[in-house]
Amino acid sequence: MGKDAISKDQGEDRSAALQLLTPLADVVRGTLMEFVVTVGMEALKKMLEEDRTRLCGRAYDRDRGAQGPSRAGSCTSSLVLGGRKVGVRRPRVRDANGEVALPTWQAFAAEDPLRQRVLEQMLIGVATRRYERSLEPVPETVKQRSTSKSTVSRKFIRETSKTVHKILKRDLRPLTIAAVMLDGIHVGDHVLLVALGIDEQGSKHVLGLREGATENRGVCKALLQDLVERGLDNDKSTLFVIDGSKALRRAVLDVFDKRAVIQRCQVHKRRNVLDHLPEGTKASVGKVLTTTFSTRSFKLAQRQLTTLHRRLETEHPGAAASLMEGFDELLTVKAFELDKTLERSLSTTNPIENLNKTIRRVSKRVTRWRNGAMVVRWAGASLLEAEKGFHRLKGYRSMPRLVAALRARDTSLGADVDEARKSA
């Protein structure tokens, strides 16, 4: 028999063995789960009874007399197990003042992991009607509840409401924010404005969100004012990375005035310019923009953009006008002479776009948005979910240079203010 035939036979044997082992593994897994739950429930029952014995003595122990706590039968209570509530017979103890708590029961009932489990399941895509199917099975002898669609939905609403409150109210004063990225995202008929902060060490933080019908100046300003009230310092220069929204720009200047250092997103600008061009011209103009944004020289980049504007001015005035809008704010970060990686990270809104992707991913499973509060709840839960996986900004090691440039700017602004006061 040849080697190929032997290898083929061995492969068939392994395949047959795997086919036999797969159902066996399912049986073992189910049996093991049942065994663990059963043993665990028996251990809990024993621990509770030991608590009662320490408090009351052994059952029918007449030497204790009528003094101290006494046994008071048992009642059906519930604890959380594997994402659902299960019924447990809880021994009771009473004294002259009423019910006496058992230490073991207090320890197991102190936290409610069910709410967090519901939140996690919803965020990873489990529908409320399928929640029970997503849980590990428990023995039929264990009575379970709190897995119905309505119960899961109520728990999700309560938990997401707490999550939104956590985002909208948390104190920002401990954070040393050097840069803020702002962007809007459409969810149903609503617009959510999201703020992402980058601290002086390059770590990312969800700062807040605001809901509105449109991405207008009032909504943007309200979000920024809320951030300031919660501790974001508007008395020091801060870099703001925004898309091409005029409303965002005006709101930033309204709240931060001269302390605002604005960087227009180069990705948005590129897209807007190319949208004004015919197909045959997009490739060449796109190549010029890529080269310009990649160059390390601020002055060279300025000259290249100016040359491109002149080239487009006659043939494609719409594209030329789009390029000139916010022209000076396209190269703001480049003037700081940062590390190439950090410069790229802070020249676009890509970091916050990744955050918005999480909102889209989680919210796309909702078929009907009842109101704005529902939109905010889902978005808030999505933001905290995304925050768990945050990494520091690419190029974060160059953040001290950005901070030094911003503080030098503050010193310059302070000197201008002092000079103006002397002149007055």
Tens digits of residue pLDDT in 2-39: 555 555 555 555 555 545 444 544 444 445 445 555 65
Taken as a whole, the chain contains a residue count of 424
C-alpha–C-alpha distance, residues 194 and 383, integer Å: 9
Q: How far is CA 106 from CA 17, 53, 85, 112, in A?
A: 48, 16, 16, 12
What torsion, rounded to 10 degrees, do the Cα atoms 69, 71, 72, 73 define?
A: 160
For the chain, the structural domain boundaries read 175-414
> pLDDT band for position 54 (50/70/90)?
confident
- 42-51, 305-314, 386-395 — which one is most confidently predicted on average? 305-314
Is pLDDT of 264 > 90? yes
- Residue 344 burial (10 A CB sphere; 0-12, 13-18, 19+): middle
Higher pLDDT among residues 278 and 128, named by residue:
278
Place of tokens 């043993």: 39
> What pLDDT is recorded for position 158?
63
Place of tokens 């010029």: 288
> What pLDDT is recorded for position 160?
63
> What pLDDT is recorded for position 89?
82
C-alpha–C-alpha distance, residues 74 and 56, integer Å: 14
- Dihedral (CA of 36, 38, 43, 45) sign: positive
> pLDDT band for position 376 (50/70/90)?
confident
Is pLDDT of 285 > 90? yes
% of the chain residues with pLDDT over 70: 68
> What pLDDT is recorded for position 149?
45
> What pLDDT is recorded for position 417?
47
> What pLDDT is recorded for position 63?
56
For the beta carbon of residue 263, count every other beta carbon within 10 angstroms.
25
C-alpha–C-alpha distance, residues 273 and 265, integer Å: 12
* DSSP codes, 198-256: EETTS-EEEEEEEEESS--HHHHHHHHHHHHHTT--SSS-EEEEE-S-HHHHHHHHHHH
Over residues 58-81, the pLDDT tens digits come to 877 665 555 678 888 888 877 655
**What is the pTM assigned to this prediction?**
0.67
> What pLDDT is recorded for position 117?
47
> What pLDDT is recorded for position 39?
58
Instruction: Please compute the mean of the pLDDT values over residues 38-65 and round it to a whole number.
Output: 73
